[in-house]
Structure 1
């Protein structure tokens, strides 16, 4: 019994002027999430790459609604990848008539969305996709952030008291 692969709608952005490493930092946060959650995350993140990725996610959703007639509430980000593009090479004038090469990296970003309602119509795939995609936001909210309880609280420890052994005394 062979499963038919459902269509996946893409949006591709090429030669975006930023390094692939900086774009991957944002892409890793949105992979596997729903369309509405992705837009909210991209609006609130403080990185420059968010604007380019936001436009691509919006374009992929528009492609899905126009080509397949999908509803935007049923879309999930099934594929999100960043590849390195060509470097734009420039020369900067330096002292004594010399030149200095400048390489500005570019990247290619691919966003793929899938309509989850196509999968939920069949009974055999329902449990697989509910567990994999629908509860993804719930599972990430249960995960504890790694930065909690790493810093000492200055309110609990009185730095200026003499009980600490005179740490701040300069006699």
Structure 2
């Protein structure tokens, strides 16, 4: 998303219908809000919660959007907004004794991660200072936001403790 009037640019990733309660996801999201991209990845890899893996994938996706679409460096990215909303509740019936049934409610949540490049902050200050003295259009100013497609595939290796029989509790 690029708002040309204020020269503020943001990228985001949105995960919908993730099968966990919003309360459990908020516990992790509150730890990463306002942190840099690299610090966030370290925190998410080391926290012992099941919510870390889908949030890790969303943060990685938002950074990939920033580097591919906007041409930003991943080292300069900061999470400016991270929120969790409740999704639909999937309802199931479990058979019980004597022909009865028991209702099971499986909650879902929607997670959104918004990132911003902090290296453009210095450039934005320069443009606003320059526009005070001369009457130029900020739409005509271009900086290198063209996609850099030299690196087509990036590989990421990490240890997934949940599917490989980790030692921590999944709750």
Structure 1 residue 32 corresponds to structure 2 residue 34: yes
Structure 1 unmatched ranges of 5 or more: 126-171
Which residue of 74, 79, 82 maps to 2:81? 79
- Structure with bigger gyration radius: 1
| Secondary structure of the structure 2 residue equivalent to 1:106 | strand
- The answer to which structure has the higher strand fraction is 2
> Please, what TM-score do these two structures have when normalized by structure 1?
0.69
| Secondary structure of the structure 1 residue equivalent to 2:88 | coil
* Aligned-CA RMSD value: 1.4
Match of 1:115 in 2: 117
User: How many residues in Structure 1 have an aligned counterpart in Structure 2?
Assistant: 123
- The answer to which structure has the higher helix fraction is 1
Match of 2:103 in 1: 101
Instruction: Provide the C-alpha distance between the structure 2 equivalents of 1:122 and 1:96, rounded to a whole number of angstroms.
Output: 70
1:123 Cα deviation (Å)? 3.9
Runs of 4+ in 1 over 4 A off after TM superposition: none
Structure 1 residue 91 corresponds to structure 2 residue 76: no
Instruction: Provide the C-alpha distance between the structure 1 equivalents of 2:73 and 2:36, rounded to a whole number of angstroms.
Output: 12
1:8 Cα deviation (Å)? 1.0
Structure 2 unmatched ranges of 5 or more: 128-171
1:7 Cα deviation (Å)? 1.6
